Structure 1
Amino acid sequence: MATSQSLERTPWWRLPIIAVGVSLIVGVVLLAFSWPAVTADPRDLPIGIVGSAEQIEQVSEAIDEQSEGAIALTEYDDRDAAVTAIEHREVYGAVVLPAEQTQSPEVLTASAASPAVAQMLQGIATGLQQQIDAQIHATIEESLAQLQQTVADKIQAAVQAALSGQAPQAPAPEASAPLTIPTVTVEVTDLVPLAGGDPRGTGLTAAMFPMVLGGILGGVILTLTVKGGGLRRVVGVLIYAPVAGVVLAGILQGLYGALQGGYWLNAAAIALAIAAISSTITGLAGLIGPAGVGVGAAFTMLVANPLSATAVPVEFIPAPWGAFGQWLPPGAAATLLRNLSYFPGADSSFQWALLGIWAAAGLALTLVDIPARRLAAGQTEAEHPLTL
């Protein structure tokens, strides 16, 4: 007679299927998290430039050769216009070329926008300095050659005068004037530096994960534990998101200093992001049943989060996935929090509106609750195995 223990044993033929399936899942997870970083290759990074047409043409060729197509230059009339563009996150930085050759060029950066791009601009500044030093060296060599030729001509004239019995002429005073060597140093100005408590920007990057995880956990737990219809889950999300926003903002800003700017504004942004993520999961559950919990959580963690451009600029992620990620809640939230912390002048209306749309759509689907309606209509799980 078979015992209960023998009945619960997994058949041998299922073991390789389970092992292979788990391996494939692990591979998908690894691919999802590593792909954006491994394939990161900057393309068309918007960088400003100020100068004359001749200067811009000359420097553009050098920058294109140095960056290999990673930078797309945008011309501005003056330094003030370039500064405004940086503060509004229209460009990551700018190269300001002087009107006079004896004046120093300036490279404007914003490490708070992206430490990686700021480092790239530092390399451009180094390349400009080498180019200027080479031009100064060539100018000095040319001046020395002219001076040597002038001295040689004077000596030759004096010798010929002496041979002809004439008195040699005294050299002109300017011929003995000292040779001046100009000093031109490329200046690098960080217009929007990272906070002193987060000099490398790791805190702001790390802040995104608990927010995304909080949104996923909220959606999963509310879906699995709150019974009695979609309205109760909607109320649960509306209570959970603001409380979680206040708590996370208190830890990330008050304790760690990862966020800057106004505390309540950051708390509101986090709350809206958590509502958008949580309601997406509860909404999918309201649309297709329990399977929606897994679909929503997997999509958010394995697709939306890696494409959020939290650690690297959007231009580092292969097109069109970088732009696509900005239409998802984690990407919109990452951009919004960075703007609120360091770029208050930037237009964040798109991010606020997008998160609000995601939250509203998710709550609407949660309220519809199609599985509950089917149960109320007397339909069975056998009729809808994936949605009941």
Structure 2
Amino acid sequence: MSASTAPATGRKTLAVLLLVPALAALVLWTFAWPAARIAPRDLPVGVAGPAAAADGLAHDLGRHEGAFEVHRYEDAAAARSAVENREVYGAVVVTPAGPELLTASAGSPVVAGLLREAVAGPAAAEGRTVPVTDVVALPSGDPRGAVLGASLLPLAIAGAATGAATVLLGLRGARAAATLAGASALAGLTGAALAHGWLGALTGNVWAEAGVLSLTVLAIGATFAGLATALGRPGFGLAAVLTILAGNAFSGMGSAPELLPSGIGLLGQWLPPGAGGTALRSVAFFDGAAAGGPLLVLSLWAAAGLTALALGGRRRTAQAPVPAPAPAATTAG
């Protein structure tokens, strides 16, 4: 090794030694910090029943400062409808025999357990029992919601691979868009077949589930392709942060967005994995209730990525050098 190359090699070695721990720390912080700070923050819950008794329940929930966002309903039917439409995660209904708790483990098994602890726990300490009704239960094929929670990372990887391949293969324009759309559709159909048909973890309309999965993969793939086209190699890194790193860690699929630190859960719902997970939960268990917002977010990411891909392809075409005309052949006189 020559003396001139030794300093360069040393700098590269030092860069690797510093970069790897920094990257590991970033990944660990991104995933571990939200998980370590899980707690209810303005969690939507309902209270139903006669005014005097319902006011008392609302006051009891209000003792957990900042934990619950209490919605009032006239009766048990209205509260149940609110749970089924994803307006609230659960509701406490005042009955002549005492309070009854309505939950939706399909909305979040973690929140369902938290509500049992907050409502039924104090009553059990006093020797009373609070009946609990799981209005929208998880299927027997996935009683803890583990399959749904684990589905985001494979979707993000599939989208990232599709977007990266589109760029690295040099596809442009309509061909690039068609490749992204086709691969995303196949990924969505495959995912729905596995999660719905084989594992029994989803119980909604299988075509709607496949559509949400496909749109999620397309949004992630278009983000990778669009950012890489616009920014070059740094675009791949930025897309990975948005969709694989922060997108998964801030999605709230393992708990609920309202259980993550303030602002993190909301940010996660504006990123493709979080929006895709929420939309999938809605179509799989709640007949599409509250799916409009997440589907809009996915559509915006997909449209923005495809637009960046198209504009980048046109710019490269316009900048391509025009071949010089061949010299005219001379005719011998």
Determine the C-alpha separation between the residues in 1 that align with 2:48 and 2:178: 53
What's 1:207 paired with? 151
What's 2:123 paired with? 128
Contact 1:309 1:331 survives alignment (8 Å):
yes
Which residue, out of 208, 219, 223, partners 1:265? Answer: 208
2:266 maps to 1:323: yes
Q: Shift of the alpha carbon at 1:7?
A: 6.4
Which residue, out of 88, 92, 97, partners 1:95? Answer: 92
Q: Shift of the alpha carbon at 1:323?
A: 1.2
Which residue, out of 11, 25, 29, partners 1:31? Answer: 29
For 1:199, the aligned partner's letter is: P
Which residue, out of 140, 145, 156, partners 1:196? Answer: 140
Matches within 5 A, 1:58-207: 58-65=56-63, 67-98=64-95, 100=96, 103-123=97-117, 124-131=119-126, 133=127, 185-207=129-151
For 2:287, the aligned partner's letter is: P
Determine the C-alpha separation between the residues in 2 that align with 1:215 and 1:309: 19
For 2:291, the aligned partner's letter is: S
Q: Shift of the alpha carbon at 1:10?
A: 6.3
Against the structure 1 CA distance between its residues 11 and 95, is the aligned structure 2 distance closer, same or farther, given a 3 Å change threshold?
same
Against the structure 1 CA distance between its residues 220 and 345, is the aligned structure 2 distance closer, same or farther, given a 3 Å change threshold?
closer
Give CA deviations for 1:225-277 in whole Å, capped at 9, x if unaligned: x2253443222112211111111211222222222212121111111111111
Contact 1:253 1:259 survives alignment (8 Å):
yes
Against the structure 1 CA distance between its residues 22 and 337, is the aligned structure 2 distance closer, same or farther, given a 3 Å change threshold?
same
Give CA deviations for 1:256-313 in whole Å, capped at 9, x if unaligned: 2222212121111111111111001111122122331222123211222211111111
Q: Shift of the alpha carbon at 1:56?
A: 2.4
5+ long unaligned stretches in structure 1:
134-183, 379-388
Which residue, out of 277, 280, 283, partners 1:334? Answer: 277
Which residue, out of 140, 162, 184, partners 1:218? Answer: 162
Determine the C-alpha separation between the residues in 1 that align with 2:288 and 2:77: 15
Deviation above 6 Å: which 4+ runs of structure 1?
A: 6-10
Which residue, out of 266, 272, 280, partners 2:223? Answer: 280
Instruction: Calculate the TM-score normalised by the size of structure 1.
Output: 0.76
Give CA deviations for 1:200-234 in whole Å, capped at 9, x if unaligned: 1111111222111111111112211x225344322
Determine the C-alpha separation between the residues in 2 that align with 1:62 and 1:359: 44
Structure number with greater Rg is 1
For 1:105, the aligned partner's letter is: P
What's the Cα RMSD here?
A: 2.3
Determine the C-alpha separation between the residues in 2 that align with 1:330 and 1:126: 34
For 2:58, the aligned partner's letter is: S
5+ long unaligned stretches in structure 2:
323-333
Determine the C-alpha separation between the residues in 1 that align with 2:16 and 2:240: 21
Identity of aligned residues (%): 36
Determine the C-alpha separation between the residues in 1 that align with 2:144 and 2:17: 41
Q: Shift of the alpha carbon at 1:30?
A: 1.2
Determine the C-alpha separation between the residues in 2 that align with 1:32 and 1:345: 30
